[in-house]
Structure 1
Amino acid sequence: MIESKRIFVDADACPVKTEIKKAADQYGWHVCFVASYDHKPTDLNDREDWVFVDPGRDSADLYILNHIHPNNLLITQDIGLASLAIVRNVHVISPRGKTFKEDSIQTALDFRYLSALERKKGNYGKGPKMFTDDDRNRFIKTLCELLSNFEGESAFKSN
């Protein structure tokens, strides 16, 4: 298997699995969905690659980090996992279409830390915004642009 054309999906709470598979098929990428046994879908497809890990809090993250390679793509909403993947030269996007970059991930980590401090004090915010069709469309656009850019780069390298 070509290590550079792989998409890893932190799949436990990912709302765009169908869109990922469709785009990956279109561009010839292999998708590996990683989830805990607690989140095992009932409608598994034989053509999809699923890996199930122990229900521990970071089990899926550890599996992904142990199997991901430079220039792979990771789809996650976990900022901590995103920060660890970015330093390995992995491209990371969220299910809402946000691209995580090395120059901005520290700010996201800082906000996550401040939110954790507030929760520790008993101050809970509203939680994440509801996932919308605009989020889904932004994700599809970002994913397809990224995969298209990879195709352009690989065509350029082979010339």
Structure 2
Amino acid sequence: MEKYDEKNKKIYVDADACPVKTEIMDLAGKYNIHVIFVASYNHTTGRTYGGEWVFVDTGKEEADLYIVNHVNKNDIVISQDIGLAGLLIRKDVIFITPRGKQYTEANLDTALQFRYLSAMERKGGKYTKGPKKFTDDDTLNFITNLEKILSKHAGELE
């Protein structure tokens, strides 16, 4: 593994179900930040969007494990997985969802509690609708918030 350097911040993307790959590459290009898309072999495609692609086994948590084992302090991770956020925020990793929500120490415990309660309801037989449809507003929110994160990082390096 390469030696960590603050200037070499990377973006890791849990790419299997990420709807904002193009937007990530556009912003990463603007700020000259290396992007690593992590996907299972089940999700190989001819369309790579650019960036570096790492393919992992098809197990449920394989992409998460790859990211956890390769991410460094102050890197950015883009994923919908709140459990992954719980592991990484404590390692001083910046975590943002494809809808633009940033998880921090301040809001993570509440999000994990809601996830737990929802799981208990499903286990008890209560039907839930699942996530709401991804919208243009979600994409705009993501772009806005990732731009703020990258702009702040660029300002800190100057």
CA drift of 1:42 comes to: 2.5
Alignment counterpart, residue 152 of structure 1, candidates 146, 150, 155: 155
Q: How does 1:99-114 map to 2 (within 5 A)?
A: 99-114=102-117
Counterpart in the other structure of 1:88: 91
Aligned residue for 1:152, secondary structure, equals helix
CA drift of 1:126 comes to: 1.0
Q: Which amino acid is 1:17 matched to?
A: K
The 2-side partners of 1:48 and 1:147 are apart by 17
Aligned residue for 2:133, secondary structure, equals coil
Q: Output the aligned Cα RMSD.
A: 1.3
Structure 1 length-normalised TM: 0.93
The 1-side partners of 2:149 and 2:47 are apart by 28
2:79 corresponds to 1:76: yes
The 2-side partners of 1:62 and 1:29 are apart by 22
Count of residues in Structure 1 that have an aligned counterpart in Structure 2: 154
2:43 corresponds to 1:24: no
Structure 2 length-normalised TM: 0.93
2:129 corresponds to 1:126: yes
The 2-side partners of 1:48 and 1:90 are apart by 20
Q: Which amino acid is 2:19 matched to?
A: P
Ranges in structure 1 where 5+ consecutive residues have no aligned partner: none
Alignment counterpart, residue 37 of structure 1, candidates 33, 38, 41: 41
CA drift of 1:48 comes to: 2.3
CA drift of 1:5 comes to: 1.6
The 1-side partners of 2:48 and 2:151 are apart by 28
CA drift of 1:41 comes to: 2.0
Counterpart in the other structure of 1:49: 52
The 2-side partners of 1:44 and 1:7 are apart by 15
